[in-house]
Structure 1
Amino acid sequence: MSAQLPREKVPILLVDDQPEGLMALEATLAPLGQQIVVARSGREALRQLLNQDFAVVLLDIVMPGMDGFETAQLIREREKSRNTPILFLTALSRGEVPEFRAYAVGAVDYLLKPYEPDILRSKVSVFVDLFRKTEMLRRQAEALREAQRREHERELAEAHQRLEVERSRWREELLRKEMETGRNQQRWLEAVLTTLPSPLALLEPGTGHILFANRAAQSLADGALVYPEARRLNTELVFTDSEGKQLPDESLPAARAARGELLSGVPVEWRRGEQRGAALAFSSRLPPMHGRPETALLALLDVTALHVTERNLQRAVHVRDDFLSMASHELRTPLTSLKVHVQGALRAAHRRGEEPLPVAQYVAKLETLEHNVSRLALLVDNLLDISRIHTGRLDFELAEVDLAAVVRDVASRFSEEASSAGCTLSVRAENPVVGRWDYSRVDQVVTNLLANALKYGAGAPVELAVSEEASHATLEVRDGGIGVREQDRYRIFERFERAVPHEHYSGFGLGLWLVHEIVTGLGGSVTVESPPGQGALFRVLLPWSREPQATEWRKVAQG
């Protein structure tokens, strides 16, 4: 396609304040056959430039108000007319024209009046041709853009058509994927429900048919709470209510939920031989949704462990009551003796006219009082140690302690009690055995073990021995008493536990427990050996040095 210049008249702006100057310019440019627009001032020229574009502006320099330089400056400052060619015309002589300023304000050339008409027409013709070429390029660009727009619209129409086809295919694929996703979600939900620890089942209303039961529901009571066939296979399994009344099949949670009953924590218990179990039943109705019919939901809460805990708590309460009974009895015995002796002493002191009792009798009474007070103090200390161990605050004051010296001292204090119990007391602790321990706690360990040996080994010899090894010191207390049955050898070190009835032997059942707690707190261990018919041997191992940890006491107390 050949490019042809547009033949429309090209606008040329003539700016001069002199009418004769404008007439001369019009006459000179008339042969060019273009559109001539005149302006008689700079301001009028600016208004013309606001309305249309011009191929060239012929601008007189000397004008009143706003001269040619100022007008040119404003033309250049306007974005749309910034590139419009400006040709200055002036009657000034060549030496009077400030050429640098003319070019500085954007003039492409200037002519001096009187000008040569052919030269002026030649210069203007150049700008006219340039304007036409520019206009042609603009129109070609617009035509190109229009062609591109039409092509683009055609391509868009084709793309839209292809897109509709693709959308149709995508919709079909999406529907297929949604259906597959729905199936996968159902499988995933069933997998989640299957692994839940809470028994859960979905039943068909009316028939009671099991639509789904997770693993926990299948294992709870061997699945007999949900599946009727499982109940028929477990003939020894018996279901009862919370009062122990046996439940028929129609009264079980699954049958009631299928009938539409809304259960809220209904208890059901079962037993099979020595095995026991319990659960709370909850049910609700799921309305039809997502293409599924109405469904009965049955949830079971296994409370077997709670029942076991309840029995343990009841046992703990029973143990507490027994302990309080024992404590009142144990505390009353020395208090009664103290009261009797104090009352006797007061009566003797108030008798008049009688000779005073001999000093030996007073000493005997005081010794009895001192013995009972010591017994009371020991009982109170044991009770305080229970509280300290429970709160993790059993105190240790570590220092250099001679275990052999502690054993000899305790044995000396128990000499009269051993004699009263008919026990010969022997001690093998001649050489010092020194470690970093708590003196009072080590004394408490030896005292409790010796008191235990004299209580349960009355009438038989009692031996205490101390030895040392590379890593620890050893304390052994042997008696020839009733011994400890094998099934009781761990239980006797627990709080309030006793291997024999309280009616036969007094005490709180705390001595050996305190021994275990103290020795463990010092990093050691205590064990018992009791061959049949040979009494009991308690062996304590104490490391030479160890900082007791409070956290261990808390763990023991909480356990």
Structure 2
Amino acid sequence: MTMVAAFGQAEARHPGARGPALMEAILQAAPVAIHLLDLDGTVRLWNPAAERLFGWERDEVLGHRAPWVPKAQWDAFRRHLEQVVQGEVLPGFELELQRRDGAPLHVELWTSCVATPTGPAQCLGMLVDLTERRRSDAFRRILFEAGEVLPASLEPDATLEHLARLAVPAHAESCRVYLEDAEGRVRCVVSSGQDAHATRLDAEAQAPTEEAVANVITSGEAALQAGPPSWLCVPLGRHGQVPGALTFTTSERTYDARDVALANALAHRAALALDNARRYQEALRTSRTREELLAIASHELKSPVSALQLQVQNLRALLERATEAPPRERLQRGLDLMGRLTKRQAHLIDALLDLSRIHAGRMELNPEPMDLGALVREVAERFEPELAGSGCLLTLTLPPDAPGHWDRLRLDQVLTNLLSNAMKYGRGNPIQVELSGTDAQVRLDVRDGGIGIAPEHLPQIFQRFERAVPGRAYEGVGLGLWIVRQVVEAMGGSITVHSEQGVGSTFSVLLPRQRG
């Protein structure tokens, strides 16, 4: 039976129609799949939209039982046809069929009974593909859940775990989160789904390589591999955030642009949640550090004051007891001690004031023409008594002159902090200060042979309240190197450190001779 013949009676009841050609045109142009079935499921009509939806061409299905109905669904499908023929109205019946390639297909079936003059009734069905609707619903559910779940955790690791589980199994068979470490290496930190504990090579082959993930992180652009199996990879971090990527894999279908859009939306929400979690953890760490700072600062401020008070009392008692002029040597020692205590107090107060100025954006520079080599010699001479007391030998390697345009007082502060650190952590070993340069910039290296800095502390050594050695074994509140970095960068320069535990540290400052 042809498409036109199947609707012969309908045409006869509508004399205004233009005949078979019009009905053929309607069936050809219909955007929904249309089929006409006998009660036993034999196909009598199959339009082009049905061919596109299911993959079978018309000549392959006419006269055959509907191949798109899986065996497990056949009894339910037959009952549906029987109910329609018996006059029951069953609009919008949803069921799962299959495409020619075996892929599952969710449709909404609208069926009506068609009476024939010579034979049993037939069932005319119109099928609407629910794939996009279901995908949209699934996308909305995932993004809604992401909006609910991801911000709820303020632990970065827990946030990443939630992220990996969100898309499995509704959107992917597996989901992985990759992060880039401080050395630029990409590693998988969380995995969810079928390959979370997989050791099979084929499971690994379905996922993007670490090189592909690294390219996505570097470029900031999503990558997609058609399949099946199929995978997609989208960047996780945004500007200023920890770089990473999110990957989805599936063996059932091919990811497309809509899947990439969902993954990007999910990654964006995750990046915001992860950033909030990191900020929260940083706030907690800063709060704890501030508490430790207050304790250390209180100790650092109180100790010199107590020592000064004691020294004043001792000198006063000496003067009161003395019948003659008190020994000059004893007075000199007391005054020297008071001078050192006052200097230590002033240094700490200056550091706390600089902290306030820098945070308020009020650190002013007063650049002037000067010779950096001459300033290095001046600071070194000022340190001679302390160097002698600590047993450190200071060696200067300086050019005849090192002219530039800098803030003299601030560079004095930089040199003082670096030399103080070298003495504090140098264990009495020699200290070397070397100045070199080019026409455009100068380089200052301060090298000690001391205890060195642990690798895990190096990334934070120039942060505020961070110290090379945790605890209170050494004086200081962890502001010196942070202030040094702020000053150097304000002058358009940079500071780095190379250190090895038990061998020593080298701090290197690069300064342009003329600022911009």
TM-score (norm 2): 0.50
- CA distance change for structure 1 residues 430 and 223 in 2, over 3 Å: closer, same or farther? closer
Q: Amino acid of the residue matched to residue 298 of structure 2?
A: S
In angstroms, what is the RMSD of aligned CA positions? Answer: 4.6
Q: Partners in 2 of 1:434 and 1:327 — Cα distance?
A: 38
Deviates more, 1:400-409 or 1:525-534: 525-534
- CA distance change for structure 1 residues 224 and 390 in 2, over 3 Å: closer, same or farther? farther
Deviation of the 1:533 alpha carbon: 4.5
Tell me, yes or no, if structure 1 residue 327 matches structure 2 residue 297: yes
1:375-524 → structure 2 map (5 Å cutoff): 375-429=344-398, 431-524=400-493
Q: Per-residue displacement from partner, 1:23-42 (whole Å, max 9, x unpaired)? A: xxxxxxxxxxxxxxxxxxxx
Whether the aligned pair in 2 keeps the contact of 1:426 and 1:464 (CA below 8 Å) is yes
Q: Partners in 2 of 1:217 and 1:538 — Cα distance?
A: 42
- CA distance change for structure 1 residues 229 and 426 in 2, over 3 Å: closer, same or farther? closer
- CA distance change for structure 1 residues 531 and 308 in 2, over 3 Å: closer, same or farther? closer
Q: Amino acid of the residue matched to residue 312 of structure 1?
A: E
Deviation of the 1:521 alpha carbon: 1.3
Q: Per-residue displacement from partner, 1:484-509 (whole Å, max 9, x unpaired)? A: 23443332111112232223222111
Tell me, yes or no, if structure 1 residue 223 matches structure 2 residue 165: no
Whether the aligned pair in 1 keeps the contact of 2:168 and 2:174 (CA below 8 Å) is no
- CA distance change for structure 1 residues 217 and 544 in 2, over 3 Å: closer, same or farther? closer
Q: Partners in 2 of 1:380 and 1:328 — Cα distance?
A: 11
Q: Partners in 2 of 1:442 and 1:373 — Cα distance?
A: 22
Q: Amino acid of the residue matched to residue 505 of structure 2?
A: A
Whether the aligned pair in 2 keeps the contact of 1:457 and 1:481 (CA below 8 Å) is yes
Give secondary structure in 2 for the equivalent of 1:493.
coil
Deviation of the 1:469 alpha carbon: 1.3
Deviation of the 1:227 alpha carbon: 11
2:315 maps to: 345
Q: Amino acid of the residue matched to residue 289 of structure 2?
A: V
Q: Per-residue displacement from partner, 1:336-370 (whole Å, max 9, x unpaired)? A: 22111122233334x26622313343333222222
**Matched positions, count:** 310
Q: Partners in 2 of 1:406 and 1:355 — Cα distance?
A: 45
Q: Partners in 2 of 1:192 and 1:325 — Cα distance?
A: 55
1:198 maps to: 143
Q: Per-residue displacement from partner, 1:361-385 (whole Å, max 9, x unpaired)? A: 3333222222211211111111111
Whether the aligned pair in 2 keeps the contact of 1:199 and 1:220 (CA below 8 Å) is no
Identify the match of residue 306 of structure 2 among 336, 361, 373: 336
- CA distance change for structure 1 residues 335 and 192 in 2, over 3 Å: closer, same or farther? farther
Unaligned regions of 5+ residues in structure 1, if any?
1-161, 163-168, 202-215, 237-300, 548-559
- CA distance change for structure 1 residues 359 and 194 in 2, over 3 Å: closer, same or farther? same
Q: Partners in 1 of 2:512 and 2:359 — Cα distance?
A: 24
Whether the aligned pair in 1 keeps the contact of 2:452 and 2:503 (CA below 8 Å) is yes
Q: Partners in 1 of 2:418 and 2:313 — Cα distance?
A: 34
- CA distance change for structure 1 residues 404 and 326 in 2, over 3 Å: closer, same or farther? same
Q: Amino acid of the residue matched to residue 408 of structure 1?
A: R
1:358 maps to: 327
- CA distance change for structure 1 residues 345 and 519 in 2, over 3 Å: closer, same or farther? same
2:38 maps to: none
Percent of aligned positions that are identical: 34
Tell me, yes or no, if structure 1 residue 538 matches structure 2 residue 507: yes
Whether the aligned pair in 2 keeps the contact of 1:519 and 1:542 (CA below 8 Å) is yes
* Bigger Rg, structure 1 or 2: 1
1:371 maps to: 340
Deviation of the 1:327 alpha carbon: 1.1
- CA distance change for structure 1 residues 229 and 525 in 2, over 3 Å: closer, same or farther? closer
Whether the aligned pair in 2 keeps the contact of 1:449 and 1:477 (CA below 8 Å) is yes
Deviation of the 1:415 alpha carbon: 0.9
Deviation of the 1:223 alpha carbon: 3.0
Q: Partners in 2 of 1:190 and 1:200 — Cα distance?
A: 15
Unaligned regions of 5+ residues in structure 2, if any?
1-15, 17-22, 34-48, 50-107, 109-127, 147-160, 176-191, 198-268
Whether the aligned pair in 1 keeps the contact of 2:427 and 2:451 (CA below 8 Å) is no
Q: Amino acid of the residue matched to residue 396 of structure 2?
A: V
Whether the aligned pair in 2 keeps the contact of 1:199 and 1:217 (CA below 8 Å) is no
Q: Amino acid of the residue matched to residue 339 of structure 1?
A: Q
- CA distance change for structure 1 residues 217 and 460 in 2, over 3 Å: closer, same or farther? closer
1:161-240 → structure 2 map (5 Å cutoff): 187=132, 191=136, 194=139, 198-200=143-145, 219-221=164-166, 223=168
Q: Partners in 2 of 1:217 and 1:322 — Cα distance?
A: 33
Whether the aligned pair in 1 keeps the contact of 2:492 and 2:511 (CA below 8 Å) is yes
1:539-554 → structure 2 map (5 Å cutoff): 539-546=508-515
Tell me, yes or no, if structure 1 residue 318 matches structure 2 residue 263: no
Deviation of the 1:421 alpha carbon: 1.2
Whether the aligned pair in 1 keeps the contact of 2:142 and 2:166 (CA below 8 Å) is no
Whether the aligned pair in 2 keeps the contact of 1:404 and 1:432 (CA below 8 Å) is yes
2:85 maps to: none
Deviation of the 1:401 alpha carbon: 2.1
Whether the aligned pair in 2 keeps the contact of 1:193 and 1:200 (CA below 8 Å) is no
- CA distance change for structure 1 residues 186 and 403 in 2, over 3 Å: closer, same or farther? same
Q: Partners in 2 of 1:391 and 1:225 — Cα distance?
A: 50
Q: Partners in 1 of 2:290 and 2:384 — Cα distance?
A: 34
Deviation of the 1:195 alpha carbon: 7.0
- CA distance change for structure 1 residues 185 and 440 in 2, over 3 Å: closer, same or farther? farther
Which structure's residues are more often helix, by fraction?
Answer: 1
Give secondary structure in 1 for the equivalent of 2:406.
strand
Deviation of the 1:471 alpha carbon: 1.3
Deviation of the 1:234 alpha carbon: 8.9
1:274 maps to: none
TM-score (norm 1): 0.47
Give secondary structure in 1 for the equivalent of 2:348.
helix
Whether the aligned pair in 2 keeps the contact of 1:217 and 1:223 (CA below 8 Å) is no
Q: Amino acid of the residue matched to residue 480 of structure 1?
A: G
- CA distance change for structure 1 residues 389 and 178 in 2, over 3 Å: closer, same or farther? farther
Deviation of the 1:433 alpha carbon: 1.1
Q: Per-residue displacement from partner, 1:233-261 (whole Å, max 9, x unpaired)? A: 6999xxxxxxxxxxxxxxxxxxxxxxxxx
Deviation of the 1:443 alpha carbon: 0.4
